[in-house]
Amino acid sequence: MAEIIQKDGTWTFDGDAVRIVPGRDKGVGLLRQTLGEVVVPLRALAGISHEPGRRAGRLRLRLRDGADPLLQVTGGRLPEASDPYRLTVDADRTGVAEYFVDEVRNALLLDQVDPGPADVYLLPGPPVPISVAAGDGTVAFDGDRVALDWNWTTEEAKSSGGPREFRVADLRAVEWSPSKGLENGWIRFTLAGAPAAPAPKYDPHTVELFGFKKDPLMALVAAAVAVRMPHPRGAAVSAEPAPALSKPPVPELAASAAEPVAPEDHDALLRRLRELGDLHQGGILTAEEFAAAKQAVLRRI
C-alpha cells in the first residue's frame, strides 16, 4: 500500500484503486469539499505524474477519456482548486510522491490497463439527491427527475413559465460551462426533440451562472445527471443501483460475486470491489479467493 498525506488531501493506493480524500486546507475548492471521497479504480486510470516545485509540487492523476462523468461534462475547464485529481505536495514529501507514482505505474503495467478511451463510465459520479443554488436558479436532482426553480435575478421571459421539471429519460444532453472573464457560465438541459435553445439568460431549461463561489457545484449536478444518461460512446448506464454485496461465508462469496450483474451498474460494482478488499484484508478471504472474486466482478464492469 502507498499513501501520501498532505494539507491538500490524502491519497491512498491499495493496488486496485486510488482513494482520494480532500483536505481541509483553505486552498481546497468547494467542489472538492462537497464531492468528498473519490475512489478511482485502477482500470479507469490512463496515467499519473509528479510535477516537483521549489516550494510545492503536484501529483496528478490522468483518467481515461470517458471514464469519469465529472471530467466528461467539464472537459478540462474546472479551476485547479476544484480538480479532485490534483494534490499539492510539499517539497519535503517529494520522495513519498515519487514512490506513490512508481507504485501506481507498476500496477498499471502489471494489470495491462488500457489507457485508451472508455465506452462506459468507470466512476459512479456524485451521490444523489443533490441540490445546488447558484446564478439565476436552483437545480435539484433525485436520480430520476431534474427540477429547476428561479430566483429574483431570473429574467421574466424565463421565470414567467414557473419552475420546470423533467426526467433524465427525456434528456438529449446536459452541458456545463464556467464563467470566463465577462461571459457568464451555465448549466443547460436539452430535451429530446427540442428546437435550438435561446441564450442561457432566456432559456427555461438553463441556469445562468454569474461567476460566484458556488458555480462549480453545478458541475456536480451535471455529472450526476450525465452518468445516468447514455455514454457518449454508445453504452447506457443504469440509474438503479444493485444491492451491495453482503458478507456470506467464504464458499458462498465467490459464487455471489459471479452472479450476473448489470454491466453498467458501477455504483454497486465498485462497492462490491471495496467490500471484497475489506474481507481480504480482514483475513476472511484468501489471496486466491479474493483474486477470483475480484475478477468475476471486473468482468461485469
Better pLDDT: 280 or 238: 280
Whether the pLDDT of residue 241 is over 80: the answer is no
Helices (H), 171-238: 217-226
Whether the pLDDT of residue 297 is over 70: the answer is no
DSSP, res 268: H
Would you say the C-alpha torsion 192, 198, 200, 202 has a positive or negative sign?
Answer: negative
3-state secondary structure of 115: coil
299: confidence class by pLDDT, cuts 50, 70, 90: low
Helices (H), 111-249: 156-159, 217-226
Residues 6+ apart with CB under 8 A from 245: 256, 257, 271, 272, 275, 276
Percent residues over pLDDT 90 in the chain: 70
